[in-house]
Structure 1
């Protein structure tokens, strides 16, 4: 019995820890899934009004078909731009390639609705382009094709980043084998490398389509009747929550299908041995070919970042009126406050979830983790309508009205952007081996000392980076903020939306430029991370080459 005493004691101490971890995962999963469940429940149970019957008729079909058409047009453009740019950046060498590899991510810094307002002014009937070439000589920007054009430019970086990561991990031996068999560089690239990178392509495209389907500001400004626009018109115009949840259900199902596609695409990814990369060389372009590559890679940067940012800079008037300056300052303070609070709450929950998932085992825990990290794939309008439906249910049960307020808005932010914080926190904790914890405990260190002296120093940068990403996402979020914000509570995003909708882009320019400056932080970080990854691969290839040389020397 004595010999079994320590083992029995360890089993007794591990059992409560497992229960606590599972309870934490269940609590977070319920926290995220509650609004989604409320949408599905309200759409199934409620909704017998005239508005619902109307929306399930002609309007409902139009919302759904228009959303699919917008996804098809913008997704096709984003996939072509992203794949071609990634192929040129990864497999060829030409003047300016390194600078363009970073610049191609810059459209991430501009919220899509801000770019729509800028292009509406640039290509509008009274814009500078119309004055140069004539009103009748430019296409109508406020249309389905105009919305697809803007969203294509704003979402192609998803495909570009995924394809660049995949293509840079492919060895040149594939290309060399195809060339030895007589294939041209174009045929080898299209037939071999793009086929090998198909999982990454569809993964990036699925993420782009999620953003396109969920976008509200672009569709509303250009008059495109998508599911997101239908949710707002139904709730604000008709006041029918049940009908709004019906439309939100359709948008959620679209997002769910895209999430499944994105998740399935990861299963096909494979890594190659480092030794396969040691002879990797890019195809050197010169003359006309180099000029063509520069133009192809520079065009998305010009139209996706420089043009809209340039319009806003041209509209910016540093001599703001006292009232406009006061309103901008108030919106900035509101944005900074709610973004900071939301980021702190989200990261606190994310760290708890990361610790729970670190030691969690079993199918139940893994399934619950998928639910807990589902929020990022849920459109902001769907999350907001779900919270409204949930608060309506709570009001019917308890008699307490909780349909608005800062707390409800923070709930939407945290539930939606928790995934971004969790990914950063779990990446930081992944650097810490469980054996390191065991060694510290064997030396008498308690949980507080282990957290203070081991976990926090090693995971601090990842946690802070996650907090920054969540804060910026909150600052840029438009649909959930419009639906749930308290009366007279304005953020930078809602201020831009209100002023630009009233054709006052000059007044909206300062707030838009602030959001772009904030968006540059994660955009440049993604570029630097990708560049650092390529630098590591080069060092790995060099180390492998040195090792091979030393090994040959020892053999001789």
Structure 2
């Protein structure tokens, strides 16, 4: 074997080995949780299963099904209208429909509970109670429907022109073509969006806890917080993981036999102009969800931030904000570094081993934060350091939980770079690390910035993992809002909640401007070339 060939083999092996080491570390919490299923079942878990186990299971299932159906219907319906039709305020609706992602679902829950409470603005209308299963479905559907909207809209935009034109040629009316051709052809994307809604619902802790809905996520936290029994919490967390895994299996089964690709044509095609009552109904359908899921909760929380409550509200706010920024910044940097290493190992290694390691390492986004947190405590207990909670454990949890978000954006950016640059750098004797630092990183700075922004905001909003793993004197914006709102002190929580919403809106605003700017530059250069 030549020296060059030997060097290539060593590089491949090193990349694959590094990827597997990272994957093993990040997957260790899940493995630890699953291993608890084979441990003895103690008195605590037997008591929990006998008394509230059925409630936890049925509550999780009913909530996930209800939110998946409602959120999927709203998201897919809005995506169809925005992608296929022209109606008043369509462009505003296309942007506004994403805004509920800026507000954590538990903030929407706090706002509506206050709005319809005995002293709320709607109390005179005698509204029905909202702190129940139906109310949780309502709130979570408003907060999570954008997942179905974004995936469905992307699929419809890619396929609408070709399929609708083909149907029009055959004399089919537009809506029949949309329902009979476009929606089935986009089923993989729709299934992915609905599955993501259901996984996020199963993982949701704040809304379920505040509205009194018994779910597995709530059960994991209460079992650990009330009994301090790590084995029992791990065994309950394993049930929550298996539920999330079942959703993934069902979603992938829905894709089987269906190609995610479809004939495509350049351009989005002409939209169908709606007029009169149809146009008004389309505008209302697309603007009502962001109104209910973002504007009204934001206004309700802002109204609570009155000057009389500011002195009490500001106590501890600066510390919570600095803690949030510090831990999210450190967690984001660690996560992006790991995502870069994994994505680059996949690119440089010819072996499928590195790709398999990356898939294993990026399971975390589908796994609830409570499961990750209990898994980390279990790993630490195996190492004899169960008391080692705090910032280090939090960083571990955030990296394991949010690596998928960073890896997806960075791997996508790397895929856009021609491999000819790699070959040229290798010919000139540049090491992989130097090639990444001096060639790839500058070319994919937008992708890195996008990934870092998304991970930062996800960490700031994360609640169950932070509650379980933080030090007792460590307060973030999310935990502070949770504590104050749980004590019915929404006026004091309001400034913290508004900061959370502002941070949540940051990636939406920045990424929209970032990629709109990129698109404008491409359009300008294209126009200049044509001229």
Give the drift of 1:285.
0.6
Q: Which of 218, 226, 236 is the matching residue for 2:225?
A: 236
> 310-319 or 158-167: which moved more?
310-319
Aligned residues: 528
* Structure 1 equivalent of residue 487 of structure 2: 502
Provide the C-alpha distance between the structure 2 equivalents of 1:33 and 1:453, rounded to a whole number of angstroms. Answer: 31
2:209 aligned to which of 197, 205, 220:
220
Is the alpha carbon distance of 1:422 and 1:57 closer, same or farther for their aligned partners in structure 2, counting shifts above 3 Å?
A: same
Shift, 1:365, TM fit:
3.1
Are 1:479 and 2:464 matched, yes or no? yes
Runs of 4+ deviating beyond 4 Å:
179-182, 262-267, 318-323, 444-449, 525-543
Deviation, 1:531, is 7.0
TM-score, structure 2 as length reference:
0.93
- The one of 93, 99, 120 equivalent to 1:127 is 120
Q: Give the C-alpha shift of residue 193 in structure 1.
A: 1.3
State TM-score, norm by structure 1.
0.89
Residues 192-219 of structure 1: per-residue CA shift (max 9 Å, x gap): 2111111111011011111101000000
Q: Check conservation: 2:11, 2:349, Cα contact below 8 A.
A: no
For residues 302 and 311 of structure 2, the distance between their equivalents in structure 1, rounded to whole angstroms, comes to: 20
Which secondary structure does the structure 1 equivalent of 2:473 belong to? Answer: coil
**Largest Rg, 1 or 2:** 1
Give 1:227 deviation, angstroms.
Answer: 0.4
Judge conservation of contact 2:12–2:351 (CA < 8 Å) in 1: no
Confirm or deny: 8 A CA contact 1:165 1:530 kept in the other structure.
no
Instruction: Check the 8 A contact 1:32/1:374 in 2, yes or no.
Output: no
Distance across 1 between alignment mates of 2:521 and 2:251: 27
Cα 1:13–1:98 shift into 2, 3 Å: same
Which of 390, 393, 397 is equivalent to 1:408? 393
What residue number does 1:551 align with?
none
Q: Is the 8 A contact 1:392 1:403 kept in 2?
A: no
* Alignment root-mean-square deviation, CA: 2.6
C-alpha separation between the residues in 2 aligned to 1:12 and 1:250? Answer: 47
Is 1:146 aligned to 2:135, yes or no?
Answer: yes
Residue of structure 2 in register with 1:453 after alignment = 438
Counterparts of 1:272-421 in structure 2, within 5 Å, are 272-274=262-264, 276-277=265-266, 280-318=269-307, 321-322=310-311, 324-395=313-384, 400-421=385-406
Gaps of 5+ in 2: none
2:157 and 2:440 map into 1 onto residues whose CA distance is: 32
Residues 317-349 of structure 1: CA deviation (Å, up to 9, x unaligned): 356554542400000010011111111111111
Among 457, 460, 469, the alignment partner of 2:454 is 469
Output aligned runs, 1:103-182, within 5 Å.
103-131=96-124, 133=125, 135=126, 138-179=127-168, 181-182=170-171
C-alpha distance in 2 between matches for 1:362 and 1:439: 21
Segment drifting more, 486-495 vs 456-465: 456-465
- Asked whether the equivalents of residues 364 and 401 of structure 2 are also in contact (C-alpha less than 8 Å), the reply is yes
Unaligned runs of 5+ in 1: 1-6, 547-556
Q: For 1:7-30, what per-residue CA distance to the aligned partner results, in whole angstroms no more than 9, with x for missing partners?
A: 611111112111211111111111
CA–CA distance in structure 2, aligned partners of residues 417 and 279 of structure 1: 33
